[in-house]
Amino acid sequence: MPRTSLTALPAFALRPPHRHPTRHALLMVGAAVTLALAACGSPTSLPAGHGKGVDAAGRDTGPSTAVTGAPPASLIASPTATSSASAAAPAAPAAIATPIAVPSADITAPRALPADQSSYAGRADAAQLADELARQHELPLPWTRDVIAQARYREVIGRLIMPAANPGAKNWAAYRSRFVEPQRLRSGQRFWQLHAADLQRAEARYGVPAHIVAGVIGVETLYGRDTGRFRVLDALTTLSLDFPKGRSDRSAFFRQELGEFLLMCREQGLEPTQVLGSFAGAIGWPQFMPSSIRRHGVDFDGDGHIDLINSPTDAIGSVANFLAAHGWQAQWPTHFQVQPPGRGPQLDALLAPDIRPTFTANQMQELGAQLPASAMNHPGPLAMVLLHNAGKAPTIIAGTRNFYAITRYNQSSYYALAVIELGEAISRAAARGNP
């Protein structure tokens, strides 16, 4: 998962694109290279988005290993989109948009490829992969073979997917400063102004507060500015067939995502060679992997299509739907302040489950933690979450199931707290009426 994010202009344009049922090429105008956050911990999946990231030391790194997916490269184009705040909400958002067209299977004449690219057209393993995907996902075999033959091996993707060679000491303060910073706050306030009605509608429908949704999109792509410029077909095929040595092999995951991507393209009438995203295959404003788009993407603007590339409204609904599906509880806080016990077996016991909520408030108290009254009255389990500060005193909080739900987007406590604090800062500025 986790992307993607930093740089100067607002992450959105003010005019919507002309949207047409067969808009294959239009969906990709203005995409920029992605950056997804590097997870802190031991992620096991990529639930939403990911791409070039920031490690727990607060530095640019290779990929996030968890959404989602999922921030930033230094290219500047952004999708053209605007809010549909005045549009009436559909009766029930569809999980998958109604199929609108079958992409053409025609193959254009091959062109000379750059030095860092090579075609998969002549490779036996690529033909075998196409046959497997067609069989597994009930795709037309000739179409699937033609699409995979148009994929290109990208050597740079193999480099970017690797973890940082020298990750450095984990540092929450440095990590936070990459996301809760003036440029992102300005863009976030503008995003909030343009899409306030959609954010409120998503909160009413899914129970996820507006500031959490705004925080996710801001951390992932700087409000649509850095959504990625790699062809998703190239990224997923490269990572399916040429996953680099030197780290745990995730090629099976990317093969599954490649199949989901092909299904998504047929369902939504997209030309597979034209869809852009991160180097790990995450797509659009929220940097969803294809499987997350098919499972959790919603047509929140009611135009009949799920479009996370050009529609910030669809992105807002989809992020809220994703978090709700991963256990978000309406009206619950994300975390509480906590005074942990001193070093010893009690603290070790509290930290052992990591970010997974495991203890009742009373159990935490019995193990020596001091919690505020609001936490003592909290009905759900809590986790003792520790974030390092590069040798200084760590930041420690008591995370709820809602904090854990954010880590399903990117399996990192640093990521989750950055989302929360960015969203809260934007919400406070909006309440003050700051421009």
DSSP 8-state assignment for residue 181: S
Identity at 23, one-letter amino acid code: R
Contact 289, 166 (CB under 8 A): no
Spatial neighbors of 228 by CB under 8 A, at least 6 apart, are: 3, 4, 31, 32, 33, 34, 51, 276, 277, 278, 279, 282, 283, 287
Residue 388, both tokens: 């390092």
DSSP 8-state assignment for residue 118: E
Q: Which of 203, 220, 257, 260 is catalytic?
A: 220
Q: Distance between CA atoms of 5 and 37, rounded to whole angstroms?
A: 9
DSSP 8-state assignment for residue 391: T
Identity at 207, one-letter amino acid code: G
Contact 285, 308 (CB under 8 A): yes
Identity at 412, one-letter amino acid code: S
Q: Which residues of 180-212 are buried (b: 16+ CB within 10 A; e: fewer)?
A: beebbbbbbbbbbebbebbbebbbebbbbbbbb
Report residue 384: phi and psi, to 5°.
-85, 110
Question: Strands of 383-389's sheet, edge to edge?
Answer: 335-337, 392-399, 383-389
Q: Minimal CA–CA distance to 221: which of 175, 177, 184?
A: 184
Residue 270, both tokens: 């997209």
Q: Distance between CA atoms of 415 and 432, rounded to whole angstroms?
A: 26
| Residue 267 is among the residues annotated as catalytic for this protein | no
List, by residue number, the catalytic residues.
Answer: 220
